[in-house]
Homo-oligomer: A and B are copies of this chain.
């Protein structure tokens, strides 16, 4: 795949070694993530590699036929869709997927990085929003392309990323409900500190305004993207005065919690309550009733990210941003409101 790398690589490394005033083996050690190099030397060499890497990225070292995907946390539905996307592209390119769970909440623990540097993959797909400066510098120094899949809708301007259209998704979900005739529409969006939650909420508000409806602040909730949060907020919404006839849940898992809340309160879906999810992960098709939801193209997003890595002009420097469209999938959890 990169048959010319060796030649191009050696020229660069010799130049860097000369400019840094160190030996070629020392530059190699830095490139390979070895620990037996002083911190000062490593930083000096990395900075030079980064500079030269800008011009030679993707061609400066020989590569293992691996595409890495790094998660902060493997969860069962989201992660699998992303893995499948990367695996599709890996298979097309006779490469293998290497998978790492970094084990922290939003950013990767630094301990995954030396492994990546040693393995010299074709590239790295990172599934989280915030990427420490140090990580960016070291990946660029080693000329390893990387792309962030940005589920939170909060792209680092300095990093190439793939996201999807959260505002438009929130708008489409809510318009579907107002088009059916719902006037009391609640939203359980995601956590307050994630931009995707705010974008979906703004889409919801705009759809209500387009339908000539006021936004009732009592009908706006911030969830946790999990079943439990959807359940708890839905029970409160259904127990309140003048209960909503429709709930736009900010994720499919939250929507499953809403279905359970409806069951516990003796309400039928969709006859007594319409429910719209978000994501369109497989459980949305398996629920009872199957969920109307906003399709977030997770697998496609992962495929795009992996393809970006494999391009001759693979990113790592220029902050490309690809945003894929979302669209509504109508199944059986929504219907016109029954007139009381």
Write the residues of chain A forming the contact surface with B, with a CB cutoff of 8 angstroms: 64-66, 74-77, 79-81, 83-84, 87, 91, 94, 96-101, 103, 115, 119, 227, 253, 256-257, 259-260, 262-263, 281-283, 285-290
List the B side residues contacting A94 at CB < 8 Å.
115
A74-B83, A80-B80 given; 5 more Cβ-contact pairs under 8 Å: A76-B282, A83-B99, A97-B100, A98-B98, A253-B286
User: Are A260 and B290 in contact (CB-based, < 8 A)?
Assistant: yes
In this complex, the member of A81, A101, A281 whose beta carbon has the largest number of chain B beta carbons within 10 angstroms is A101
User: Are A81 and B87 in contact (CB-based, < 8 A)?
Assistant: no
Question: Given A115-B65, A256-B287, A288-B259, do A76 and B77 touch, yes or no (CB 8 Å)?
Answer: yes
Copies of this subunit: 2
List the B side residues contacting A286 at CB < 8 Å.
227, 253, 256-257, 283, 287
User: Are A99 and B97 in contact (CB-based, < 8 A)?
Assistant: yes
Q: Among the listed B74, B76, B98, B290, which residue makes an inter-chain contact with A281, where contact means beta carbons less than 8 Å apart? A: B76
User: Are A99 and B99 in contact (CB-based, < 8 A)?
Assistant: yes
User: Are B100 and A96 in contact (CB-based, < 8 A)?
Assistant: yes
List the B side residues contacting A64 at CB < 8 Å.
119
The 4 residue pairs across chains A and B that have the minimum distance between CB atoms: A260-B288, A76-B80, A259-B288, A256-B286
List the B side residues contacting A283 at CB < 8 Å.
283, 286
Contacts A/B (CB < 8 Å), 15 sampled: A75-B80, A76-B281, A87-B101, A97-B99, A98-B98, A98-B99, A256-B288, A257-B286, A260-B288, A260-B289, A260-B290, A262-B288, A263-B288, A283-B286, A286-B287
> Of all chain B residues, which has the CB nearest A261?
B288
List the B side residues contacting A115 at CB < 8 Å.
65, 94, 96
User: Are B96 and A119 in contact (CB-based, < 8 A)?
Assistant: yes
List the B side residues contacting A282 at CB < 8 Å.
76-77
Cα A333 to Cα B97 in complex, Å, equals 39
Cα A285 to Cα B287 in complex, Å, equals 12
User: Are A74 and B66 in contact (CB-based, < 8 A)?
Assistant: no
User: Are A87 and B65 in contact (CB-based, < 8 A)?
Assistant: no
User: Are A91 and B103 in contact (CB-based, < 8 A)?
Assistant: yes
CB proximity of A312 to chain B, nearest CB, Å = 23
Question: Given A96-B99, A260-B288, A286-B253, do A87 and B66 touch, yes or no (CB 8 Å)?
Answer: no
List the B side residues contacting A287 at CB < 8 Å.
256, 286-288
> Of all chain B residues, which has the CB nearest A258?
B288
Cα A140 to Cα B261 in complex, Å, equals 54
Cα A236 to Cα B66 in complex, Å, equals 48
User: Are A101 and B91 in contact (CB-based, < 8 A)?
Assistant: yes
Q: Among the listed B66, B79, B227, which residue makes an inter-chain contact with A80, where contact means beta carbons less than 8 Å apart? A: B79
> Of all chain B residues, which has the CB nearest A230?
B286
User: Are A263 and B289 in contact (CB-based, < 8 A)?
Assistant: yes
List the B side residues contacting A262 at CB < 8 Å.
288
> Of all chain B residues, which has the CB nearest A68?
B96
List the B side residues contacting A259 at CB < 8 Å.
288
Cα A81 to Cα B80 in complex, Å, equals 10
Cα A197 to Cα B219 in complex, Å, equals 47
Question: Given A76-B76, A76-B282, do A66 and B288 touch, yes or no (CB 8 Å)?
Answer: no
